[in-house]
Amino acid sequence: MNLTFTLNGTLITRDVSPGATLMDVLRAEGLKSVRFASETGETGAAAVLLDGELASADVMLALQADGHEVTTVEALNTARELHPIQQAFADVGALQSGYSSGAMVLGTLALLRRSPSPSEGEVRDMLSGILDRESGYVKPVEAVLRAASVLRGEPVEPFAVHVVEALTDGVHASAYDPSAMPPDVRPAVPKVIPSRDVPDLAVVGHPELKVDIVKLAKGNPAFTDDIELRGTLTAKVLRSPHAHARILDIDDSAARALPGVHEVLHYKNTKRIKYASGGQSYPNPHPYDQVSFDNKVRHVGDRVAAVAADSEEIAAEACRLIRVTYDVLPAVFDEREALKPGAPVIHDEDDTEHIRDASLNKVHWIFAERGDVEKALAEAPHYFEQTFRVHQVQQCPMEPHVAVAWLDEDERMVIRTATQVPFHVRRMIAPLIEMPVRDIRVIKPRIGGGFGAKQEMLIEDIVALLAIRTRRPVRLVLTREEEFISARTRHPQTLTYRTGVAEDGTLLAQDLYVIGNTGAYGSHGYTVQTITGMRGLSQYNAKNKRFRCDVVYTNIPVPGAYRGYGAPQSEFALEAHLEDIAHELGLDVLEFKRKNWVKVGDELDIAPHLGETAIQEELDEYPKVMTCGTEECVAQAQRAIGWHRRNDPDWVSPKDRPNIRRGIGFALAMHGSGIPFLDMGGASIKINDDGSFNLLIGATDIGTGADTVLGQIAAETLGVPLDRILVYSSDTDMTPFDVGAYASSTTYISGTAVKRAAEKVAQRIRERAAMLLEVDADGVTLRDGEAWASDGRSVTLERVALHSLHQKDQEQIMAVESFMAVDCPPPFAAKMAEVEVDITTGQVTVKKLVMAVDCGVAINPVTASGQVEGGLIQALGYAHCEEYAFDEGGRMLNAQFGPYKIYRADEMPDVEVYLVQTWEKTGPFGAKAVAEIPKDAVAPAVRNAILNATGVAIDNLPFTPERVWNALQTPTVGLQHR
């Protein structure tokens, strides 16, 4: 059918099918800023302007645009420079992955045409139709208001760091002053509390623009699905409707007979090669309990078959034509029930090794102990016991899993995929497709958010196997429902703390027993649970500690890596448990925790006994905390939240709102910086003719700003501005090895590799400049793009480059370096939450979140604060409203946005972030990690605020109105005290 419409100012006519969406047509026209994120339009990632108003192109039939005017963000890309709206988003760091940048820019354009001076409420209302899982909406709101000022012709100040005076000496607590006011600056402005230990630096510590900002702000083709290869086939996966069943037979004859179908894969025609899908270092933790296609399904959404066809519609129809005969088996979903005698056995196959006890669904038993816990608990003056339950949630990156595979001109397999771990994927997929690693190339383009969901070899084997069978490029994009039921999630857990406390409030012993639910497959089951133990027993001192954990199979969709990686679970339980102990003993909560939390010089004495590199025997020396900004974090957070109000009965119970109770809660967080003795990253740097540099890294930027941060480290070391560093990342053929984006490792580990490589290059530059200046190389320094002699003379790095490449003793100045960490310096954070509870309905409204974080030196305060803002809101969803709902057969009832509730821009609490500097000597330019710690301890801060407001302690997540109302009606005593 003919479609005629105006596209970005040009009248066009196209022949389209009746069922084609407007998104399909626009992407076929090469307008890749219009991106898929869901079939039902809630995300706004495919938004365009239809006659000047935002419309979701993914749920609009193309023929509905007939006679109308359609505008995409490409209409603004008329020059190399950014449009003022795009520039505003760039200036304030509003774009992290940038997957939905086109929609945000277009929404801003429409709003400012209609309302040149919008209120913040109007801005948030506009953004409410564009879901952003990354930023917490703080910086996008700032970008819109900044763009409005620019378009009105008003001057705007450079977006800069706001320096906040320290409230402590960095070691000791300071007296809280209720009259002190926090800094009066916009929430999006990075607030940095400087340390005297940190030297003045030229590039590091400054809010540099992201190195990938042009492609992101303009909506240029940058993501996995933004390329088109001639002859590409579309793949679809047939998934199990049953939580647990044996496949007795598959008949694919009707599917194969369908015109346009090229291949069908299933267990009857695909080799049974065992593997573990979690993207982790070699050797992957056991068990290897998966195959590409099995004759048994273990959760609703499990793989049954895959089809490659000429179109998505044909592939979907072929899936419907496959006839599967199932023998449906009993299923179990709760980890506690799965351990009981007589529970359904989920892995009864005889070819999976290293399951601890398949008959009891026990995948792993994890154990570590320091001291004698049982003796200490028995002798403690005060003994406490408390059990908590945490639930299943999804990472929800806006870009779903997507991969394209093809055989190149040399018959090598090329996989372009949205992954956090390209090098792991290459190694792990090799045996499944029976090709050597050397014949496999994995390319990671820009990623539209990961959060751990893409630390998995999830779909790459499917497209690769289909590409081999068909000898055509094959593309697979998961639907939003598939993301929920077949990708990865956070592990549900049941956690029980047993704690012994002395009369003076000193912790004497802590025992943590966890039942971790790893769902249908082991994946990250072992490592996530070890982090639960590590984080749950590290941030407070106790001479006696023990971690015990059963990791169990169930028939829920498979949990895996999710930002925080086991820490949010245990820190919820730990911080809530200690809160309740303080109340029970009549102690001030902050003082009780302060008495026991780790400080500089304290040993991290259980960490070496947990994880992939766990040591069984006692060590002569344990790692110690070398930097800790906890006291300053607490002081800043107290002032920002107005801590004193929690003890004011008139504030807690406002007389003019008798149904409302207010509260303020605190929780401490502690995380890590990579995995010592395991994580490694590499980097190479070479100089170009004009004195610029190519930086090649295997590290994976998933929207975190890693490319920018690593570029800043190189620029600082080489004495050049950031725009002289050209960053290339994550191509297994072209870039050095890196474990990938996980474990908060990129800045600390990959950054150190970059710094080492840059130092070697800098030394060669100094030596070459010394030849030109006829001085000793030891007296040459690099700054401002030049090499300077001690007498004030200088040569440009361009001159050095030309001399080295073309004129005398020619050489390519370059270096390759790598770094494996032996330390894991912990970042620390204080989280505080302010809530209102409607005691008649149980509705909890979070009014404000504050996080003050010691991440060492924030290499880029804008990207660091943006990471924190986004992580806080993800963590708030975990605490407050996100939850999987299943029917009795294990089918997810809310596998789409809306029923699965994530925060919108117009629902946000006030968010304040403080970056507390410390100088971590082992990190690059003093840096520690910042990416994951925002996810830790928001849930207990909210829980403790509810307790402060109502006097009711709730030990299960999330804090939905039903759960809170029930707790208010029938309070339970979770804490047992002897």
Tokens coding 18: 């009746």
At residue 742, the pLDDT reads 87
- Residues 298 and 444 both lie in one domain: yes
What total number of domains does the chain contain? 5
Tokens standing for residue 745: 């490792």
- What does the pLDDT read at residue 971? 81
Q: How many residues does the chain have?
A: 978
Q: Provide the pLDDT for residue 515.
A: 98
Alpha-carbon span 664 to 651, nearest angstrom: 11
Tell me the per-residue pLDDT of 480-497, one tens digit each, with 9 for 90 and over. Answer: 999 999 999 999 999 999
CATH code at position 55: 3.10.20.30
Say yes or no to pLDDT of 195 above 90. yes
Check residue 835 and give its pLDDT: 98
Domain of residue 302, residue span: 224-329+409-486
The answer to whether residue 654 sits within a structural domain is yes
Q: Cβ–Cβ contacts within 10 Å for residue 764, how many?
A: 18
DSSP structural state of residue 750: I
Beta-carbon contacts of 380 under 8 Å, excluding residues fewer than 6 positions away, are: 500, 501, 502, 508, 509
Residue 325, burial from CB neighbour count under 10 angstroms (0-12, 13-18, 19+): exposed
208 lies in a domain? Answer: no
pLDDT digits (tens, 9 = 90+) for 672-701: 999 888 999 999 999 999 999 999 999 999
CB 752 within 8 A of CB 819: yes
Give the orientation angle of helix 138-151 with respect to helix 861-880, to 10 degrees.
130
User: Reading across the β-sheet that carries 844-854, which strands appear in turn?
Assistant: 162-163, 191-193, 910-916, 844-854, 828-838, 660-670
Backbone angles phi, psi at 795, to 5 degrees: -130, 145
Domain boundary among 785, 820, 855: 820
At 62-91, the pLDDT tens digits run 999 999 999 999 999 999 999 999 999 999
611 and 634, same domain (yes or no): no
What's residue 371's pLDDT? 96
- Is residue 617 over pLDDT 90? no
Say which amino acid occupies 53.
Answer: E
- Tell whether 316 and 441 lie within a shared domain: yes
Percentage of the chain lying above the pLDDT 90 cut:
97
Residue type, 924: P
DSSP notation for 616-685: -SPPSS--B-----HHHHHHHHHHHHTGGGGG-HHHHS-TT-TTEEEEEEEEEEE--SS-TTT-EEEEEE
Identify whether 352 is part of a domain. no
619 lies in the same domain as 656: no
3-state secondary structure 237-279: EEECCCCCEEEEEEECHHHHHCCCEEEEEECCCCCCCCECCEC
Query: 457 and 590: one domain?
Result: no
What is the layout of strands, in order, in the sheet containing 10-15?
10-15, 2-7, 69-71, 47-50, 53-56
In a domain, 505, yes or no: yes
- Residue 599 is predicted with a pLDDT of 97
Regarding whether 581 and 614 lie in a shared domain, the answer is yes
Instruction: Provide mean pLDDT across the span 447-472.
Output: 97
User: Based on C-alpha coordinates, what's the Rg of the chain?
Assistant: 28
Looking up residue 767, the CATH number of its domain turns out to be 3.30.365.10
- 408: tokens are 């190149």
The maximal CA–CA distance of the chain, rounded, in angstroms, is 85
CB 225 within 8 A of CB 416: no
Same domain, 430 and 298: yes
612 pLDDT tier (thresholds 50, 70, 90)? confident
Residues 323 and 467 in one domain: yes
Instruction: Collapse the DSSP code of 143 into the 3-class scheme (helix H, G, I; strand E, B; otherwise coil) and give the result.
Output: helix
The pair phi, psi for residue 6, each rounded to 5°, is -95, 120
Cα–Cα dist 318/314, whole Å: 6
Q: Are residues 584 and 630 in the same domain?
A: no
The three-class DSSP label of residue 596 is: helix
pLDDT of residue 616: 86
Q: Tens digits of per-residue pLDDT, 99-150?
A: 999 999 999 999 999 999 999 999 999 999 999 999 999 999 999 999 999 9
Residue 711 included in any domain:
yes
Q: Quick check: 568 pLDDT over 90?
A: yes
Q: Which stretch of 317-326, 371-380, 673-682 has the lowest confidence by average pLDDT?
A: 673-682
With a cut of 90, say whether residue 744 has pLDDT above it: no
CA atoms within 13 A on the CB side of 627: 30
In the structure encoding, which two tokens stand for residue 238, read together?
């047939």
* Domain co-membership, 600 together with 614: yes
Question: Considering only CA atoms, which of 704, 707, 689, 750 is closest in space to residue 871?
Answer: 704
Question: Is residue 345, in this structure, part of any structural domain at all?
Answer: no
Name the strand (E) or helix (H) holding 461.
Answer: helix 460-470
Residue 631 and residue 621 share a domain: no
Q: Average pLDDT, stretch 696-710?
A: 95
CA 962 to each of CA 333, 880, 959, 968: distance values in angstroms, whole numbers, following the listed order:
22, 12, 8, 10
End-of-domain residue from the set 820, 851, 866: 820
| Nearest CA among 526, 918, 846, 398 for reference residue 662 | 846
The pLDDT of residue 613: 84
pLDDT band at residue 974 under the 50/70/90 scheme: confident
Query: Are 739 and 753 contacting, i.e. CB atoms less than 8 angstroms apart?
Result: no
Our CA dihedral for 650, 651, 656, 657, rounded to 10 degrees, sits at -120
- Whether the upstream peptide bond of residue 721 has omega within 30° of 0, thus cis, is no
pLDDT at res. 932: 96
Report the C-alpha gap between 441 and 224 in whole angstroms. 14
The strand pairing partners of 964, in sequence order, are: none
For residue 426, the model assigns a pLDDT of: 98
Amino acid at 950: T
Q: Within a domain: residue 212? A: no
Given a cut of 90, whether residue 862 has pLDDT beyond it is: yes
User: What is the CATH number for 422?
Assistant: 3.90.1170.50
Residue with tokens 């068990």: 287
Whether residue 481 contacts residue 40, with contact meaning beta carbons closer than 8 Å, is answered with no
CA separation for the pair 131, 687 (Å, rounded): 41
- Boundary-marking domain end, from 820, 838, 873: 820
Q: Which residues contact 516 (CB under 8 A, 6 or more apart)?
A: 335, 491, 493, 525, 528, 529, 532, 549, 550, 551, 552
The pLDDT of residue 973 is 79
| Residue 236 belongs to a domain | yes
Judge residue 342's burial from the number of C-beta atoms within 10 Å of its C-beta, 0-12 exposed, 13-18 middle, 19 or more buried: exposed
pLDDT confidence of residue 942: 98
Q: Stretch 453-477: mean pLDDT, rounded?
A: 98
Q: Whole-number mean pLDDT of the chain?
A: 97
* Residues whose CB is less than 8 angstroms from the CB of residue 336 and which lie 6 or more positions away in sequence, other chains included: 494, 515
> What is the DSSP secondary structure assignment for residue 748, as one 8-state letter?
I
Q: What is the strand order of the sheet 261-266 is part of?
A: 261-266, 303-309, 233-239, 474-477, 402-407, 413-417, 440-443
Tokens coding 708: 């920018």
- Residue 203's SS3 state is coil
Residues 6+ apart with CB under 8 A from 406: 229, 232, 413, 414, 467, 472, 473, 474
Q: How many other C-beta atoms lie within 10 A of the C-beta of residue 437? A: 14
In this structure, are 574 and 664 located in the same domain? no
